[in-house]
Structure 1
Amino acid sequence: MLRFLARELHSWRVMHASSNGLVRRGDRLETATLVMLWLAAVAGVMIALTIGGDTYVAHKAAAEKQEPRHSVSATIIRTPGQGSDAAGAGADTGLTTVAWQDPNGHRLTAAVDAEPLDSVGRVRVVWLDDSGSVVDPPITTTDAVMEGLIAGAAVGTLVVLGWWGSTVLVRMVADQHRFRRWEAEWRQFDIDSHP
């Protein structure tokens, strides 16, 4: 990869933009295409940064607007694979049944999404809203930062891979064209050199 980047940095031959008669039209076209690919890559990086920033802002706004919620420690009383009776709230549905006590000492139960480590007796953190209903965990600023970074990095990776693949393709096509021209010119020179 470093050799490829070094070759790319070396490829900015100013003479391709000049009126030098030794520069072939194919070389000028190759250089113009590579310049356009570089400009597209820079634009793609700017788009990746914008998408990452927008994702961060959207998640940060969602974190600030979310309803208040609090956590309770709940004990798992039934896992998804346990039992098949109708009373089993989490039976074979991908839900785990948990129980906890409210501030008044009443025992409450709820079905929550199962986790791989769920087992009867294990304690899990469950998030509740003000009405006591089970809700998703709150979105934090760290979540917003991570989502923004992931979105920006994903788009940036696609841009870099697209730029790299396009550049390699342009180089391969240009090299094949050059090799064919050189071969034809060597054959012409070889024919003309015989008496």
Structure 2
Amino acid sequence: MRRPSQPGHGRPERRLLRGAFGHGMGPLWRPVDRARSRARLLLRLGLILALLVNGVLAGHGVATAPARARAEAARLHLVQAAVLGRAGPGATGVATHYHTGELVRVAWTYPDGHTMVGRFDLPRPVDLGQGLPIWVTDRGEIADPPQSAAALALLSLGMGAGGLLVLSLGLQALYLLRRRSLDRRVDRRWAEGWAAVEPHWSGRLHGRPGNPAA
């Protein structure tokens, strides 16, 4: 035999919705209880919205990764640069060999024939005057190598996950602040009510010490 449902009982989602609007929760359901239910409801809706938005953005980033990779590769050019010498702070003289990670001055010829000079962190050891492949933009400026479609897709997924994490933490923080505010309100009202009842309950109002019911 099926038991009749009690006020406020049922599936958690249904209970949360009913509690947020105060329907069918019984005579002991207070306004502060309704405010707490609304805060939980807003938190869940915010998390769902954050998941949807970041999921859509991440999916769009993954879908457009091949086109973005082709566009990035089209604006970059691989040229041969020559090492001219050290470029770090206090660098003097010219060495015949340079190590990985060392900052050096390099010269390269831009695709339209202009020779340019700049600074470059060596990805591998090279000798003075040795050719060094570098990527440059259409304006001839040194650039990072073009990223593959897979790398751009992973970057989009990572940004989506990071955005979801940040939004989730922010929503959780707002929810906790709201709950703390409601708890302080309950404590304050309880203290005010007890201050009004305690003299009658303890008998102090009528000059009788202790609980009059004792």
TM-score by shorter chain over 0.5: yes
1:161–1:128: structure 2 CA closer, same or farther, 3 Å change rule?
closer
Aligned to 1:137: 145
The answer as to 2:173 corresponding to 1:159 is: no
Aligned to 2:98: none
The answer as to 2:200 corresponding to 1:192 is: yes
Would the aligned equivalents of 2:135 and 2:144 in 1 still touch at CA under 8 Å?
Answer: yes
Aligned to 1:169: 177
Aligned to 1:34: 40
- Size of the aligned set, in residue pairs, is 166
Deviates more, 1:113-122 or 1:135-144: 113-122
Name which of 111, 121, 124 aligns with 2:127: 121
1:114–1:173: structure 2 CA closer, same or farther, 3 Å change rule?
same
Q: Shift in Å at residue 43 of structure 1?
A: 0.1
- CA RMSD in angstroms comes to 3.9
TM-score of the aligned structures, taking structure 1 as reference length: 0.64
1:133–1:80: structure 2 CA closer, same or farther, 3 Å change rule?
closer
1:26–1:112: structure 2 CA closer, same or farther, 3 Å change rule?
same
- Mapping for residues 16-35 of structure 1, pairs under 5 Å: 16=19, 17=22, 18-35=24-41
Cα distance in 1 for residues equivalent to 2:169 and 2:134: 41
1:19–1:127: structure 2 CA closer, same or farther, 3 Å change rule?
closer
TM-score of the aligned structures, taking structure 2 as reference length: 0.59
Aligned to 1:150: 158
Which amino acid letter does the alignment assign opposite residue 79 of structure 1? R
Q: Deviations over 1:47-74 (max 9, x none)?
A: 1112222233343312134339786786
Would the aligned equivalents of 2:83 and 2:104 in 1 still touch at CA under 8 Å?
Answer: no
Aligned to 1:4: none
Cα distance in 2 for residues equivalent to 1:52 and 1:29: 34
Report % sequence identity.
20
User: For structure 1, which runs of at least 5 residues remain unmatched after alignment?
Assistant: 1-9, 85-93, 100-108
Q: Deviations over 1:19-76 (max 9, x none)?
A: 4111111110221122012101210121111222223334331213433978678663
1:186–1:116: structure 2 CA closer, same or farther, 3 Å change rule?
farther
Name which of 53, 57, 62 aligns with 1:47: 53
Q: Shift in Å at residue 111 of structure 1?
A: 3.9
Structure possessing the higher radius of gyration over alpha carbons: 2
- Mapping for residues 2-21 of structure 1, pairs under 5 Å: 16=19, 17=22, 18-21=24-27
Cα distance in 1 for residues equivalent to 2:15 and 2:120: 60
Which amino acid letter does the alignment assign opposite residue 97 of structure 1? V
Q: Shift in Å at residue 186 of structure 1?
A: 2.1
Which amino acid letter does the alignment assign opposite residue 96 of structure 1? R
Would the aligned equivalents of 2:79 and 2:136 in 1 still touch at CA under 8 Å?
Answer: yes
Q: What secondary structure does 1:21 align onto?
A: coil
Higher RCO (Cα < 8 Å, 6 or more apart): 1
Q: Deviations over 1:115-171 (max 9, x none)?
A: 277876388542479xx9976422202321232023212321221121111111111
Aligned to 2:65: 59
User: For structure 2, which runs of at least 5 residues remain unmatched after alignment?
Assistant: 1-11, 94-102, 109-114, 207-214
